[in-house]
Structure 1
Amino acid sequence: MSNQLTFYDLRWPKARQSRLQLVLTMLDRVVDWAAFERAVDAAIHYPRPGNGRRPVSLGAMLRIHVVAWLTGANDRQAEELLIDSPSVCSFCRVDDAGPRPPDAETIGNFRRRLAKAGLESIVHEYVGAPLAKQGASLTPGQIIEPRWSGPLL
């Protein structure tokens, strides 16, 4: 995604950030996303761009999975979050002005692929552990309302 301002940014340049946006910004800073991607790629051998249709990037799919885990969203709700929320699109590195984001089936296939490889708890390892080191914890909540304890890092 480019650093160019979106219409959303231009509409309310000084708007207060939502609680979800604050949590996602903090996760962006604290989590080692490159190590997270390498660990998952080694286990599931995520497809690379080739001659066919370009797959959604592994980084974007991991971030979508984390948002779904964080908000307690099912696959359909995760897709709707991507469509409705500019802050979720920005966090997941999905261009909200570009082609349609991954659909619920793609998100579900990725989740099942992680489960098949035995990686159900990988979010706790790569997201929960860095937060615990910082003295904070993140408990998945209901959609758009994750419960946060500790300082925003």
Structure 2
Amino acid sequence: MKQTTFASLSYDAKKKKTRREVFLAEMEQVVSWLALLAVIEPFYPTAGRRGRPPMPLPTMLRIYFLQQWYGLSDPAAEEALYEIEPMRRFAGLELAEEAIPDETTILHFRRLLEQHELTAQLMNTINDVLEEKGLLLKGGTMVDATIIHAAPSTKNKGKARDPEMHQTKKGNQWFFGMKVHVGADVNSGLAHTVSVTPANASDLSQLPDLLREDDRAVFGDRGYVDNRLKRAARAAGVFWGINLKAPPQRALGAGQKARNRRLSSVRSRVEHLFRIIKRQFGYVKVRYRGLAKNAAQVFALVGLANLYLKRRALLA
């Protein structure tokens, strides 16, 4: 039990709950904390620097999730814990009674997750829990990709752009960064498989890795058109729901356009996941150099986005 301070009593007496408080209260209930902590615990140190005990693992995991939900860097996360009471409460910290983790401690925890590739395991654990509750079903997959921008400037210490990021052309516009490829369940809209590549990697190159062995249907936009895979899918009894692409110098017929609209009404559900990651969580630009660090963050974001999509069902 923690001693209640006068500041906490004053905060409890306020008349309105903010949107941040409502959101964090929901996440407190829908996240399977024990299952996620069990993934990290074997790798978490039992003694800190100079023999001091480390910060409690539940506190550090909650801070890491706060970073993903609110787009916080390590220094910004430390400052937010000092300034914002709902975040401090969510992390289980009392300002007057306990030490607030500094940015170096937060950095070390993030690197621990990256070093042991734990964020992918966290995403899979979240999906396992959703599947057990009947919220992540099987049968068909929607595939799509989105571009995450990286800084194209060379005004830095190395005088060069990130060598692991590349540029690609979409329409008449060029983009520099990486791609997040997602395979999402047709029924629930939840992502079950994720891959991260440089932006110049084709969407089609990732298609085989985004499908599940028991999928009976696949939906995607024109970027996944491939006659060889189409014939193989039909031979295996898999419904090929990839939008048709007009041949050069020709236009699609009315029936073909109508078919594309029907398929797009199914495929478009995968865009909801990207909306949450980019608009709700604010992840539109990479934070680190290199694919590995950024991929680790993407896995965490996708797992948390799955929880956010099904939070109402989980609360019920």
Normalising by the smaller structure, the TM-score range is 0.7 to 0.9
Higher percent of residues as helix: 1
Residue 111 of structure 1 pairs with residue 113 of structure 2: no
CA distance in 2, matches of 1:91, 1:11: 14
Bigger radius of gyration: 2
Cα gap change, 1:13 to 1:56, in 2 (>3 Å): same
Cα gap change, 1:142 to 1:112, in 2 (>3 Å): same
Superposition pairs of residues 2-151 of structure 1, within 5 angstroms: 2=2, 4=4, 6-11=6-11, 13-42=13-42, 44=43, 46-48=44-46, 52-125=51-124, 133=135, 139=277, 141-142=281-282
CA distance in 2, matches of 1:66, 1:20: 14
Q: Which amino acid aligns with 1:48?
A: T
Out of 13-22 and 75-84, give the one that drifted further. 13-22
Cα gap change, 1:39 to 1:151, in 2 (>3 Å): closer
Q: Which amino acid aligns with 2:46?
A: R
Out of 82-91 and 50-59, give the one that drifted further. 50-59
Q: Please state how far the C-alpha of 1:100 moved relative to its aligned partner.
A: 2.9
Question: Percent same amino acid at aligned positions?
Answer: 26
Indicate the SS of the match to 1:121: helix
Q: Which amino acid aligns with 1:119?
A: L
Asked whether the equivalents of residues 26 and 311 of structure 2 are also in contact (C-alpha less than 8 Å), the reply is no
Number of paired residues? Answer: 148
Structure 2 unaligned spans of 5+:
137-187, 191-272, 284-304
CA distance in 2, matches of 1:72, 1:36: 21
- How big is each residue's C-alpha offset from its partner over 1:42-61, in whole Å with a ceiling of 9 and x where there is no partner? 3x2x1225993221000000
CA distance in 1, matches of 2:129, 2:118: 17
Q: Please state how far the C-alpha of 1:23 moved relative to its aligned partner.
A: 1.0
Cα gap change, 1:33 to 1:3, in 2 (>3 Å): farther
Where relative contact order (Cα < 8 A, 6+ residues apart) is larger, the structure is 1
Q: Please state how far the C-alpha of 1:150 moved relative to its aligned partner.
A: 7.1
CA distance in 2, matches of 1:99, 1:111: 21
